Structure 1
Amino acid sequence: MERENATLLTEFVLTGLPHQEEWKIALFLVFFVIYLITMVGNLGLISLIWKDPHLHIPMYFLLGHLAFVDAWISSTVTPKMLLDILEKSNISLTECMAQFFSFASSVTTECFLLAAMAYDRYVAICQPLLYPVIMTNRLCIWLLVLSFVGGFLHSLLHESFLFRLTFCNSNIVHHFFCEVIQLLKISCTDPSINYLMLFIFSGSIQVFSIVTILVSYSLVLFTILRKKSEKGMRKAFSTCGAHLFSVTLYYVPLLFMYVHPASSQADDQDMFFSIFYSIIIPVLNPVIYSLRNKQVIDSITKMFKRNVTGSNMAEENVTLVTEFVLTGLTDQPGLQVPLFLVFLIIYLITMVGNLGLIALIWKDPHLHTPMYFFLSSLALADACTSSSVTPKMLINFLSKNHKISLAECLTQFYCFGSSATTECFLLSVMAYDRYVAICNPLLYPVVMSNSLCAQLIGASYFVGFLHLTIHVSLLVRLTFCRANIIHYFYCEILQLFKISCTDPTVNILVILIFSAFMQAFTFVTIMVSYAHVLFAILKKKSENGRRKAFSTCSAHLFSVSLFYGTLFLIYVGPGSGPDENKEKMFSLFYTIIIPLLNPFIYSLRNKEVIGALKRIIKK
């Protein structure tokens, strides 16, 4: 009877971390930076182990897979949590189950990997002569396969039991991800079997892995204490110290969470411990395993200074380059003056258009709304993008000296890169603003408050500057000793890598991780926002309302298409031969043409901007 009258729930609301509204941007930035460091640390460690032959041993083979699992754990939880910090949103039952499956698989796999690493240390210290015979490549692969298969089977078991539950009363999950205990608490079906399965299987896996680790390290400890050499004891303790510290950090919060009694206060404690083992430990592990590990530090040093030995042998014949030559758009003398005039006019129109739009929005009270507040910030970013590239290009059209110093080159790249990154985030913020305006019009003044707008803009610029600080700090480590010719019209980072004497693998890896993540994050935010907007518009019965909504969003969608289209074409297409000229054309488009077009795109079909312009002219 009750089941028939009850409405089955298919969506949940994650309460997330308890925080005050004014702290949400700060909280977002903290966890965003932690996530970026986690991905760079773990993926960087994997790359380091893969590239250095000295690290192709069982210990680092297992460590590389632990780093992969840590990145997996963090990626399962953090992206959704970051979105929920900015705005609470529902999570469907399917998404919830997928998140739990991914999280449970990775956590269980980590338990088995930590046990496998403990066994590896036991064999290495207690049976050093038999170590190459016991810890063969085949055994290592088997240990890894069993760890991952064990993780998948364990989570699959709990997932299958979760599907028998129904949810009909509350849909509030008091957590920042779909944690299984919280789901059992709000179930309408008796979850006793689920609790029993959790107790038996999770308990058995934790007991097995902890006992394996304790037994292994007890034997290791007795072996170390028998050593007469103090140096040998110190080396053995140093080898095991990082792993023991990591194991302690991982198991203590996990055990405490599932042992202490349940209460409303305990729910908040659970969240704190969950943050620790799902977000903090994945960021700490690469640091723990590398800071006191001589082999890893030596490997990093070798990667950073790979060409130092070769350059020392020919030091007398090699001069480090401190100046570069920008080839520009063309080397044909007859085109220099016409191109100068064309790009001078474009630059003047760009500056007048963008700075004029900022002045118009600032002076007219009718435009003092979030939408135009973001638009003026986008105009400033466009003006910065154009000003970081165009003036130097104009000078090079008329001058025979196309040289640019290393300091000027890095400064130009920093200014351009930070404004381009800021623009990515501003475009996603503007998409979010349109989503709130069209999908939640009654809540718009409450949600898009002046405080939130200022925080979103501040966060966009802060991330832009922080992102480029990372890349410039890594660029400083590169040396240039052969060619100093940059086949471009500004200091483009990929062109600098091509002429570097130092191995730029680390730089390329960091660019791939950070830039790809930021572009994916902002692009997905825009797509999701406009998918919601599209469904909301199609639901409108009024044709006038539909036309107005489409008109409001069309300018932004056109701007986004221009910006991301050219950006993707540059970094997805091959970078050799004739394609370099295509890259120049695409770069020209998003560095010079888009900043020129944006003020017109956002004003020509915008009645409010045209009205404000007419009022200013009449005054």
Structure 2
Amino acid sequence: MSFNNSTSVSDFYLAGLGIQDDLRILFFIIFLVLYIITLAANLAIMIVAISDPTLHTPMYYFLGILAFLDICYSSVVVPKMLIDLIAQQKISFWGCMLQIHCFHFFGSTEGVLFSVMSYDRYVAIAHPLRYSTIMSYKVCLCLVLCCWVIGFSHSFLQTIMTARLPFCGPNIVKHFFCDVKPVIDLACTDVTLNINLLTRVTGTVASSTLMLTLLFYGLISRYLFKIKTWQGRRRALSTCSAHFIVVSLQYGTAIFTYAQPATKNSLDQERAAAIMFTVITPALNPLIYTLRNKDMKKGFKKLFKKL
């Protein structure tokens, strides 16, 4: 397969956030602080999950991977966005394709991981005595590998289908990062196939993983009613509530962005929604998990004492 045989565009410029010049410094500081929080908080979760032997369980193994994905996911977009807030810089054609690939790779991998994490919580609550047997190291490793494979396959398909399009100009992407919808909007050919592929494939990945997550939580709720004591129910809910909040934040914006047809008006709405799941959510995820998790709090205290 040959790529770009009629492409005259070698670089793209990102339109950015559409912020007034006098507000650029303010937003630069806000987004920089959120990005630092994302890096520091998620890195801290990874360190605690690895260093504390009491957290060497499937739940915290998945949480550590989620923290790693949040760092990668945010780093694909935010550094370039911060640079463009100060002085707009061009991005090469293949640099744009790489950003598309990495963004969808980490994003879709994280979406599948959410379903895996909900399955882990279901097994922990529904089959507590068999939990360590069902969620063995090999099973956890296989589940994580499936997440990476599905994420990479989905991303690779989207990237190839975008890279093969001819781009003759203009070269201004109406977004603050290279994403499939605003990039294919610049192609000088019919992109109906690409739009249908994006809507159906990405929408299917997001919707199916969400349905699996909701299915496991539905099964969990059935077992919660079988727990007679309120303390027992509260303990079970505490292990699921943080994950459910994070899932709601992530899937709400993702489905809004990709499960609708592309229009000029929708691109503006998607740019606003993208700020939520690329800048804000990765910074909120570690705070949500640590504030509602006693084991993580203890792990952080141990880490601080060592320091």
| Counterparts of 1:459 and 1:578, CA distance in 2 | 36
Superimposed CA distance per residue, residues 15-41 of structure 1 (whole angstroms, 9 cap, x where no aligned partner): xxxxxxxxxxxxxxxxxxxxxxxxxxx
Asked if 1:335 is matched to 2:14, the reply is: no
* Conservation of the 8 A alpha-carbon contact between 1:327 and 1:402: no
Taking only aligned residues, the RMSD between alpha carbons, in angstroms, comes to 1.9
1:572 deviates by: 4.2
Computing the radius of gyration from Cα coordinates, the structure with the larger value is 1
Counterpart residue type for residue 54 of structure 2 = H
Distance 2:14 2:206 in 1: 28
1:485-524 to 2 correspondences below 5 Å: 485-524=172-211
State the alpha-carbon separation in 2 of the partners of residues 520 and 388 from structure 1.
23
Which residue number in structure 2 is paired with residue 440 of structure 1?
Answer: 127
Contact 2:198 2:258 in 1 (8 A): no
Alignment of 1:376-455 (within 5 A): 376-399=64-87, 401-455=88-142
Amino acid at match of 2:210: F
**Residue 593 of structure 1: SS of its match in structure 2?**
helix
Deviations 1:531-579 (A, max 9, x none): 0100100121111100111111100110111011111222345644554
How many angstroms apart in 1 are the aligned matches of 2:271 and 2:198? 19
Alignment-mate amino acid for residue 255 of structure 2: F
Match of 2:153 among 466, 469, 475: 466
Aligned residue identity for 1:329 = L
Question: 2:50 maps to what in 1?
Answer: 362
Kindly provide the amino acid, as one letter, of the partner of residue 24 in structure 2.
Q
C-alpha distance in 1 between matches for 2:190 and 2:271? 24
Letter in 2 for 1:541: K
Moved more, 462-471 or 403-412: 462-471
Give the aligned partner of residue 289 of structure 2.
Answer: 602
How far the C-alpha of 1:465 sits from its partner, in A, is 1.3
Aligned to 2:41: 353
Change (3 A) 1:590 1:553: same
The DSSP-based 3-state class of the residue aligned with 2:213 is: helix
Alpha-carbon distance in structure 2 between the residues aligned to 1:442 and 1:557: 24
Question: What corresponds to 2:13 in structure 1?
Answer: 325
- What residue identity is the alignment partner of 2:231? N
1:503 CA drift (Å): 2.0
CA distance in 2, matches of 1:590, 1:450: 30
Give the Cα separation in 2 of the matches to 1:395 and 1:327. Answer: 13
Q: Deviations over 1:129-185 (max 9, x none)?
A: xxxxxxxxxxxxxxxxxxxxxxxxxxxxxxxxxxxxxxxxxxxxxxxxxxxxxxxxx
Identity %: 40
**What SS does the corresponding residue of 1:347 show, helix, strand or coil?**
helix
Partner SS for 1:325: strand
Shift of 1:500: 0.4
User: Could you tell me which residue of structure 1 aligns to residue 235 of structure 2?
Assistant: 548
> Is the contact made by 1:385 and 1:420 (CA closer than 8 Å) also made in structure 2?
yes
What secondary structure is seen at the aligned counterpart in 2 of 1:443?
Answer: helix
Say which structure, 1 or 2, has more relative contact order (CA 8 Å, 6+ apart).
Answer: 2
Aligned residue identity for 1:532: L
Which amino acid in the other structure matches residue 586 of structure 1?
A
Deviations 1:567-605 (A, max 9, x none): 122234564455433221111101111111100111111
TM-score if structure 1 supplies the norm length? 0.48
| Distance (Å, rounded) in 2 between the aligned partners of 1:355 and 1:500 | 39
User: Shift in Å at residue 521 of structure 1?
Assistant: 2.1
Distance in 2 (CA, whole Å) between partners of 1:531 and 1:419 is 27
Work out the number of aligned pairs and report it. Answer: 305
Counterpart AA for 1:601 = I
Which deviations, in whole Å up to 9, do the C-alpha atoms of 1:433-467 show, x marking residues without a partner? 00100011111010000111111111111221122
> For residues 262 and 280 of structure 2, what CA distance do their matches in structure 1 show?
22
- Structure 1 residues 371-399: Cα deviation after superposition (integer angstroms, max 9, x where no partner): 00000001111111100000000111111
Gaps (5+ residues) in structure 2? none
Aligned-residue offset at 1:509: 2.9
CA 1:512–1:435 in 2, change beyond 3 Å: closer, same or farther? same
Describe the SS at the equivalent of 1:442: helix
The residue type equivalent to 2:52 in the other structure is D
State whether structure 2 residue 183 is matched by structure 1 residue 482.
no
User: Is the Cα–Cα contact under 8 Å of residues 42 and 67 in structure 2 kept in the other structure?
Assistant: yes
- Quick one: distance in 2 between partners of 1:547 and 1:331? 45
Aligned to 2:129, the other structure's residue is in SS state: coil
| SS at 2:216 equivalent | helix
Structure 2-normalised TM-score?
A: 0.94
Equivalent residue letter for 2:34: I
